């Protein structure tokens, strides 16, 4: 089968890219192992979508089809240090309608899938598993496990941080393990959250509560591996009591809605995200600590910028030419490096428990909160 572009990976970033290429001159194939399935109840995988990415999803026709009853606007954010540090952010004070939108992963995934499935210029190959990839002077050839062969001008790796495609292309990356687990779970709370997200920098990690529709929250607790494993083995009552106490009982008593799950945290940097006949997007291109909540936002911006780059090529410019792909790499490098550096720096600032650093980080947090210009600048950068 001959196509212009093959996207390996039908996750959020890969499907967003395919959707952003609607109406283009490119014939696109998406290779994915399985059709997205919605959980029986509330999805434990929750994302905070920045306003700039909400606008991007609206541009590609996704946002208006999402179930608003399953989404929650973040109107305030309260961040607490491990001593007396505190900083607050308000959408109203910043002059925006919301700081972010909280949405279930499966809600986004299924709508993207259905949208791409309707596109005339896209073929969804699912279930399909890549088996061999060769990149030649004039084309890239992808062999699938079922015997089918795809010949394309450009291959996009969108298959996650352990990307098979990236490895097949010979792109080595640098992983730095945080020796932490990100423990996630959803809870019902006895007190209303009023659209407020909470984050605590604690001695045992970084705890975040994200508001969900109604009196419900999603928890992400980035904590040392041993503590994360212990959290996942607690009874529902014990876990609720532990999480409520860690959050200073801000929202009263908690009731567990989804069982806890833990995933290892790591930083991943790729020395290059484009090359002859290939580009990397999403988690295949970068991974960051979840304390900033920007992982999927970086992936969506990868999709937006790469689609703009490809759609902007003139008729005589080749989509697989590395010179045609360089603008995408240059435009994305600054934001990715900045967020990786910031989140990694914050992680390392709050891990040590020596007195000078404890004083420095909490004093700095309080000082930032008292300087509206600096505080609002941070918020607007996060908003995109």
pLDDT higher than 70, residue 316: yes
Residue 316 CB coordination number (10 Å): 5
Least confident of 160-164, 328-332, 337-341: 337-341
pLDDT, tens digit (0-9, with 9 covering 90-100), for 108-132: 999 999 999 999 999 999 999 999 9
The pLDDT confidence band at residue 38, using thresholds 50, 70 and 90, is confident
Q: Would you state the CATH architecture of domain 72-102+179-264+353-383?
A: 2-Layer Sandwich (3.30)
Contact at 8 Å (CB) between 4 and 105?
no
pLDDT higher than 70, residue 377: no
Give the pLDDT confidence score for residue 63 in this predicted structure: 96
Smallest CA-to-CA distance from 12 within 343, 217, 301, 273 is with: 301
The pLDDT confidence band at residue 165, using thresholds 50, 70 and 90, is very high
Give the pLDDT confidence score for residue 345 in this predicted structure: 72
The pLDDT confidence band at residue 152, using thresholds 50, 70 and 90, is very high
Four-point Cα dihedral 102, 63, 124, 170, nearest 10: -50
pLDDT, tens digit (0-9, with 9 covering 90-100), for 172-203: 999 999 899 999 999 999 999 999 999 998 88
Q: Would you state the CATH architecture of domain 2-63+105-175+267-347?
A: 3-Layer(bba) Sandwich (3.50)
Higher pLDDT, 256 or 380: 256
Give the pLDDT confidence score for residue 288 in this predicted structure: 87
Q: Which residues of 317-352 are buried (b: 16+ CB within 10 A; e: fewer)?
A: eebbeeebbebbbebbeebbeebbebbbebbeebee
For residues 189 and 195, give the distance between their C-alpha atoms in angstroms, rounded to a whole number: 13
Give the pLDDT confidence score for residue 82 in this predicted structure: 67
pLDDT higher than 90, residue 375: no
Give the pLDDT confidence score for residue 335 in this predicted structure: 86
Average pLDDT over residues 40-65: 93
Burial (0-12, 13-18, 19+ Cβ within 10 Å), 221: buried
pLDDT, tens digit (0-9, with 9 covering 90-100), for 268-285: 999 999 999 999 999 999
Q: Where are the domains of the chain?
A: 2-63+105-175+267-347, 72-102+179-264+353-383
Contact at 8 Å (CB) between 30 and 116?
yes
For residues 185 and 258, give the distance between their C-alpha atoms in angstroms, rounded to a whole number: 6
Higher pLDDT, 202 or 2: 2
Average pLDDT over residues 151-175: 97
The pLDDT confidence band at residue 88, using thresholds 50, 70 and 90, is confident
Share of the chain above pLDDT 70, in %: 89
Give the pLDDT confidence score for residue 211 in this predicted structure: 97
Looking up tokens 């508001």 gives 211
The pLDDT confidence band at residue 380, using thresholds 50, 70 and 90, is low
Assigned token pair, 70: 């399953």
pLDDT higher than 50, residue 91: yes
Give the pLDDT confidence score for residue 374 in this predicted structure: 42
The pLDDT confidence band at residue 353, using thresholds 50, 70 and 90, is low
For residues 184 and 44, give the distance between their C-alpha atoms in angstroms, rounded to a whole number: 7
Averaged pLDDT score across all residues of the chain: 89
Instruction: Find residue 87's DSSP bridge partners.
Output: 79
């Amino acid at each position: 089968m001959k196509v212009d572009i093959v996207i390996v990976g039908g996750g959020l970033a890969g499907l967003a890219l395919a959707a952003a290429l609607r109406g283009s001159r490119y014939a696109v194939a998406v290779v994915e192992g399985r059709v997205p399935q919605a959980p029986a109840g509330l999805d434990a995988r929750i994302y905070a979508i920045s306003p700039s990415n909400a606008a991007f999803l609206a541009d590609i026709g996704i946002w208006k089809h999402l179930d608003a009853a399953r989404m929650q606007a973040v109107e305030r954010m309260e961040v607490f240090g491990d001593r007396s540090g505190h900083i607050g952010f308000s959408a109203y004070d910043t002059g925006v309608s919301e700081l972010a939108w909280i949405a279930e992963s499966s809600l986004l995934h299924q709508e993207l899938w259905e949208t791409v499935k309707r596109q005339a210029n896209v073929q969804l190959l699912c279930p399909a598993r890549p088996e061999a990839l060769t990149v030649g002077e004039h084309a890239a050839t992808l062999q699938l496990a079922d015997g089918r062969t795809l010949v394309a001008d450009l291959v996009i790796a969108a298959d996650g941080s352990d990307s098979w495609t990236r490895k097949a292309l010979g792109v080595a990356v640098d992983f730095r393990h945080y020796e932490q687990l990100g423990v996630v779970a959803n809870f019902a709370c006895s007190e209303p959250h009023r659209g407020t997200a909470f984050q605590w920098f604690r001695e045992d990690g970084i705890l975040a509560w994200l508001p969900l529709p109604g009196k419900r929250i999603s928890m992400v607790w980035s904590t040392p591996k041993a503590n994360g494993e212990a959290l996942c083995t607690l009874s529902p009552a014990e876990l609720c009591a532990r999480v409520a106490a860690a959050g200073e009982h801000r929202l009263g008593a908690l009731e567990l809605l989804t069982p806890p799950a833990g995933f290892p945290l790591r930083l991943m940097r790729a020395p290059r995200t484009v090359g002859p006949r290939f580009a990397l997007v999403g988690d295949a291109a970068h991974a960051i600590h979840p304390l900033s909540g920007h992982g999927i936002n970086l992936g969506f911006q990868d999709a937006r910028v790469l689609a703009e780059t490809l759609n902007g090529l003139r008729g005589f410019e080749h989509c697989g030419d590395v010179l045609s792909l360089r603008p995408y790499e240059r435009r994305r490098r600054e934001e990715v490096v900045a967020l990786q550096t910031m989140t990694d720096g914050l992680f390392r600032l709050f891990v040590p428990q020596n007195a000078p650093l404890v004083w420095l980080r909490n004093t700095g947090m309080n000082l930032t909160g008292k300087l509206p210009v600096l505080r609002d600048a941070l918020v607007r950068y996060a908003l995109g």
